[in-house]
Amino acid sequence: MKILTIETTCDETAAAVVTDRLDVLGSVVASQDELHRRFGGVVPEIASRAHLERILPVIDETLKRAELSLSDLDAVAVANTPGLAGSLLVGLSAAKALCLACGLPLIAINHLQAHIYACRLAAGEDVFPCVGLIVSGGHSSLYRCEGPIEFDLLGATIDDAAGEAFDKVAAMLRLPYPGGPAIQQAAERGDRRALNFPRALLKDKERLDFSFSGLKTAVRYQIAGPGCPSIDNVHLTDQEVADLAASFQEAVVDCLAGKAVLALQKTGLKTLCAGGGVAANARLRDRLTEESQRHGFRLHIAPLKLCTDNAVMGAIAVERFHAGLFEELDLDVYPGLVRKT
Ligand code: KG4
Ligand code: ZN
């Protein structure tokens, strides 16, 4: 059985062909980073227009790499939640058109479940039940994951997502977009104890939520105090940038690792799976590994190339195929956070 999976939730146009044995026959990711770079973040209208230009060539190239034609497929799967409305619509419309033209069943993918499924793919064995930590440009959330498609929200960011904070702080430090990899690189030369930034909600053992907006403001005020309306003319030395990056990254990692451990303690679950673009962060990966050794839980972090958005993780569609969960062609997009599935 072969499923074409389509991913257009944010700013990557991606497609893959996966089998029921979870083999990947072909995969293509067309990044839009260069289009959004000068804005320091994803511009939704630019993203959806770029998806429109790229979606058919990306699907063609994926089938070519898999050495398959449309008639070899058994289903088409597409991420329809959560994400940017305009971006989601492009992938969903392409998937529906293919289903209609080829008489194939349509499968809906929850993008956050797919990020955690990347851990299942890499592990080569069942990873459920687990606590799922999803940290990306759009989301920072903890889920109780009873199975690959049974998620229950435990906590989430109440303002910025972790990746969004990385991107915005990188812009303040005049580091390139996307900010996550740039901050990680700058942080390698910095002292993570140089500045004591706030760790919002970390001491609150009742809540599993995150907040990164105050941290972002603290970085801004460190660069130039609250009385200073602009940071455009502030010169930072390379060492100051490195120390700011390392101290900021440490504060984010403390919050993510701290709440993930708290979620394991509160739920009694023994496995943590982490996915999403920020899960590519080397410091976070090290910290989660240390915490797993200290607290004795099983840890699966998505492999680097499956952390940022891709369509391979859409292999979660195989689970829905087996469960007989197919969609009508009037399926809609759901941009907002999903609490329970
Ligand atoms: O999962 P993803 O590709 O897209 C969303 O679903 O949002 O995540 C993109 C985010 C960006 O904010 C980017 O800065 C961040 O992931 N990111 C990182 C790293 N690599 C990507 N953040 C921290 N460290 C990294 N190494
Ligand atoms: Zn994502």
Nearest CA owner, ligand 1 atom 13:
180
Residues 248/197, Cβ–Cβ less than 8 Å: yes
Whether residue 308 has its Cβ less than 6 Å from ligand 1? yes
Ligand 1 center to 167 CA (angstroms): 8
Nearest to 135 by CA among 171, 166, 110: 166
Query: Is beta strand 2-7 parallel, antiparallel or unpaired with respect to 12-19?
Result: antiparallel
Ligand 2 center to 311 CA (angstroms): 10
Whether residue 181 has its Cβ less than 6 Å from ligand 1? yes
Longest CA span, the chain: 64
Ligand 1 center to 69 CA (angstroms): 33
Give the bridge partners for 79, in sequence order. 109
Residues 116/134, Cβ–Cβ less than 8 Å: yes
Q: Which residues in the chain belong to E strands, given as ranges?
A: 2-7, 12-19, 24-31, 75-81, 106-110, 130-135, 140-147, 150-156, 271-275, 298-301
Nearest CA owner, ligand 1 atom 21:
277
Residues 302/118, Cβ–Cβ less than 8 Å: yes
Measured from the alpha carbon of residue 11, the closest ligand is: 1
Q: Is the peptide bond before 198 cis (omega within 30 degrees of 0)?
A: no
The pLDDT value recorded for residue 338 is 85
Taking the mean position of all CA atoms in its chain, how far away is CA 292?
A: 21
Ligand 1 center to 277 CA (angstroms): 3
Whether residue 138 has its Cβ less than 6 Å from ligand 1? yes
Ligand 1 center to 180 CA (angstroms): 6
Ligand 1 center to 125 CA (angstroms): 26
Task: Report the atom number in ligand 1 closest to the C-alpha of 283.
Answer: 24
The pLDDT value recorded for residue 73 is 98
What does the pLDDT profile of the chain (341 residues) look like in tens digits?
999 999 999 999 999 999 999 999 999 999 999 999 988 889 999 999 999 999 999 999 999 999 999 999 999 999 999 999 999 999 999 999 999 999 999 999 999 999 999 999 999 999 999 999 999 999 999 999 999 999 999 999 999 999 999 999 999 999 999 999 999 999 999 999 999 999 999 999 999 999 999 999 999 999 998 889 899 999 999 999 999 999 999 999 999 999 999 999 999 999 999 999 999 999 999 999 999 999 999 999 999 999 999 999 999 999 999 999 999 999 999 999 889 98
Task: Report the atom number in ligand 1 closest to the C-alpha of 177.
Answer: 14
Whether residue 41 has its Cβ less than 6 Å from ligand 1? no
The pLDDT value recorded for residue 40 is 84
Residue for token pair 């702080």: 169
Q: Structure pTM? A: 0.96
Ligand 1 center to 60 CA (angstroms): 27
Task: Report the atom number in ligand 1 closest to the C-alpha of 275.
Answer: 1
The pLDDT value recorded for residue 23 is 97
Query: Which of 81, 136, 253 has most ligand 1 atoms within 8 Å of CB, for mutation?
Result: 136
Whether residue 166 has its Cβ less than 6 Å from ligand 1? yes
**In this structure, what are the phi and psi dihedrals at residue 210, rounded to the nearest 5 degrees?**
-120, 160
Ligand 2 center to 10 CA (angstroms): 7
Measured from the alpha carbon of residue 112, the closest ligand is: 2
Residue 109 gets which letter from DSSP? E
Task: Report the atom number in ligand 1 closest to the C-alpha of 139.
Answer: 7
Nearest CA owner, ligand 1 atom 23:
180
The pLDDT value recorded for residue 41 is 86
Query: Which of 173, 278, 281 has most ligand 1 atoms within 8 Å of CB, for mutation?
Result: 278
Ligand 2 center to 114 CA (angstroms): 8
The pLDDT value recorded for residue 294 is 98
Query: Is beta strand 75-81 parallel, antiparallel or unpaired with respect to 2-7?
Result: parallel
